[in-house]
Structure 1
Amino acid sequence: MTDFDDEPDQDKRIEKLRSELEKLGGGVSQHPELSADLEEAFLKHILAFETAEPTTLLQWLENAGLEVPPTDRLDDAQLKAKLWEVINRMASLGAYLHNTNHLSDRELYAYLFDEGLREDAVLFPEDPSYVYGLDLLGSGSDEDMQLY
């Protein structure tokens, strides 16, 4: 990937960013009211996301030193403590849960262990403006709509 910051001219940096995104198979529409600074930052974010290697949330957590044992190896007190440890560590990585109130702690932990943490994710923990959301009711299914 090109080092865009080596180019002193902002218009040329923006064109290089657009060119890189085109090579990846997509373009980004231009918005005339968007300042060049915002456009450049936006294009850099898109390029970083599109070229990042997805990794499971479980791998992110393990890389951060957190052990996530299977649900059946935890009693209720251990599970509650581990669930909050997982949630807090996820938050430190920029990953957040949404719409979880319909689940018990054990159901939520089981979902995370069996499914949620095993999904590929692109995270940017060094960028507090980037958020990865894991919505437990976001499928749009009839059941999810009733729970919501």
Structure 2
Amino acid sequence: MPLAHHPDPEEIECLLRNGELRTAIEPFLDEAIWEIDFRQLPTPVENRFLESMLAWELAPVAPIARWFTPILSLQPACTLDDDRVRERLWQTIDTLYSKRIVLDFTDHLSDRELYSLIRRDILPSTVKQVDLPDNYLHWDCSADEAGDPSVWLAYYASDEEREEWRLEEGRDPPPRQVPSYPRALPVAPV
């Protein structure tokens, strides 16, 4: 005779949380959500997924500079000497990382160029501020406004990625270059 399964308090709490999350996310759902077979997910995994969806839907949209108190602002690079640019750049990198903003592909940029890119492109960008401990915003510093992948291809792409690009585009990628400004920037945990 099989014994009845009596869920422990942790399982019950997980199921109750699942009901709360499903109710909270319902107004935001569209047909794309039903492509996920929730029956295949353990309830704790489903809860984590629903929590991340809800955090995304409810996240405020604001310029990155306004994610900070006081507002993060940088003076123009042309008003600073090289030592001050470097000092302020590293302070800013650490400050951005405190809000889980990670700068990717920066080693082709001088300190002054990276500082200017942060001031001109990153800080005024309006982005959803998703407040989850494992959510990081990655900023691709090799990209330009037109989406030209030349910098990424020249400095960062693997041989396989360069070959894939060559086959897709029908032309050779730009010559490989070694980045002139290697940095050990903070990275998102794996």
State TM-score, norm by structure 1. Answer: 0.78
How far off is 1:131 after superposition?
0.7
The RMSD of aligned alpha carbons is 2.5
How far off is 1:90 after superposition?
0.6
2:41 corresponds to which residue? 34
Answering whether residue 136 of structure 2 is matched by residue 128 of structure 1, we say no
1:20 corresponds to which letter in structure 2? P
- Of 98, 108, 112, the match for 1:106: 112
2:149 corresponds to which residue? 141
Map 1:1-148 → 2, pairs under 5 A: 9-22=16-29, 27=33, 29-61=36-68, 63-64=69-70, 66-124=72-130, 127-138=132-143, 139=147, 141-148=149-156
Separation (CA, whole Å) in 1 of partners of 2:40 and 2:115: 45
Q: Give the 3 Å change call, closer, same or farther, for CA 66–113 of structure 1 in structure 2.
A: closer
How far off is 1:27 after superposition?
2.6
Q: Give the 3 Å change call, closer, same or farther, for CA 77–54 of structure 1 in structure 2.
A: same
SS at match of 2:134: coil
- Do 2:62 and 2:126's aligned partners in 1 also have CA atoms closer than 8 Å? yes
Separation (CA, whole Å) in 2 of partners of 1:96 and 1:11: 31
- Do 2:65 and 2:72's aligned partners in 1 also have CA atoms closer than 8 Å? no
How far off is 1:123 after superposition?
3.0
Q: Give the 3 Å change call, closer, same or farther, for CA 135–84 of structure 1 in structure 2.
A: same
- Do 1:55 and 1:121's aligned partners in 2 also have CA atoms closer than 8 Å? yes
Separation (CA, whole Å) in 2 of partners of 1:88 and 1:11: 36
How far off is 1:83 after superposition?
0.3
- Do 2:60 and 2:130's aligned partners in 1 also have CA atoms closer than 8 Å? no
Separation (CA, whole Å) in 2 of partners of 1:123 and 1:17: 19
Q: Give the 3 Å change call, closer, same or farther, for CA 113–10 of structure 1 in structure 2.
A: closer
Q: Give the 3 Å change call, closer, same or farther, for CA 130–93 of structure 1 in structure 2.
A: same
Q: Identify the range of structure 1 (72-81 vs 10-19) with the bigger mean alpha-carbon deviation.
A: 10-19
- Do 1:99 and 1:135's aligned partners in 2 also have CA atoms closer than 8 Å? yes
- Do 1:94 and 1:123's aligned partners in 2 also have CA atoms closer than 8 Å? no
- Do 1:17 and 1:47's aligned partners in 2 also have CA atoms closer than 8 Å? yes
Aligned length: 138
1:114 corresponds to which letter in structure 2? R
How far off is 1:37 after superposition?
1.6
Bigger Rg, which one: 2
